[in-house]
Structure 1
């Protein structure tokens, strides 16, 4: 069972890690600007699922396997890196367009946003470092039961990431009207693309 000090430490560390701008939150802002709040929250569910996967990997004792980069994890690593490069290219070549505040996202847009969120998290070095390196320093994972994982860690993780992500989404919606110019959109999406490239390069560098 986790003590109150461990729970508070986990909430604070996770909230801080999520709030520090990285590939996930940067892409979330870009998607929210271009697609609206619904698209942003759909993408956020993908981001959260990716975090829960790494949380489960850490809790159930697979951190050591992940650190050794067995063929399976190496394959996942390369696939995530290549997808990040592809996303970076899409963000870089994004053509500025008029922002239609009343246009609803299609099912394809929502599915793409969700998949992007999941893959970005799986390929995010910051997320990997948090769950496989920092988390074990705060919580004794050997003593975490299935009940503790399912009834404490998973809900806490979802809540913290939902709150932080919602702040980014709502902030993005607030500034949408300031990003109607082509130049502002180009700067936002190309900055996102650069961050994606850096994240993907970091992932690939660890494979050598």
Structure 2
């Protein structure tokens, strides 16, 4: 069982990570402003699904795989970095508008919003680092099943992230009105 002090420490780390700027945060602010609250909710749900996939992958051996074959970990890390570079390039390439310049974001259908959110989350190196590198630091084999502890801590992170991001989506959608 996870101790209360460990749970609170992990919740605090989760809170700091969800509040740090990144692609998820950018989309969670921009989509409700441009497309309304429902678009923000769709994006939020896809991000939560990404977290669940990360937890399941971590609990069922991704950590072991990464430790046994570091090249796989490097590949995931570089894929995430490449995705972030692609996002950056699209914002600074010739003809792109400045990030400080207001611009219209195209309205995307719900399916595309969902897939964008899921891919943004799955390829976000910050999330991979959280689950693969940081989560095991809060687990203790002497306190019971690592599978249970990982699931419990993962659900804690999802809960913290969901609450904070829900507030962000609701606030952003009110700004648009």
TM over 0.5: yes
TM-score (norm 1): 0.64
Instruction: Kindly report the root-mean-square deviation, in angstroms, between the aligned alpha carbons of the 2 structures.
Output: 3.2
* Partner in structure 2 of residue 113 of structure 1: 113
Aligned partner (choices 96, 102, 110) of residue 103 of structure 2 = 96
The answer to whether the 8 A contact 1:41-1:169 is kept is yes
Runs of 4+ in 1 over 6 A off after TM superposition: 89-92
In structure 2, the gaps of 5 or more residues are: none
Q: Distance in 2 between matches of 1:76 and 1:129?
A: 10
Checking the alignment, whether the CA contact within 8 Å between 1:80 and 1:119 is kept in structure 2 is no
The unaligned stretches of length 5 or more in structure 1 are 100-104, 178-208
By how many angstroms is 1:58 displaced? 3.0
Q: Which residue of 1 aligns with 2:46?
A: 46
In structure 2, how many angstroms separate the alpha carbons of the residues matched to 1:160 and 1:129?
17
Which residue in the other structure is 1:206 paired with? Answer: none
Contact 2:139–2:149 at 8 Å: present in 1 too? Answer: no
1:126 Cα deviation from its structure 2 partner: 1.4
Question: Which residue of structure 1 lines up, in the alignment, with residue 163 of structure 2?
Answer: 163
Aligned residue-pair number: 168
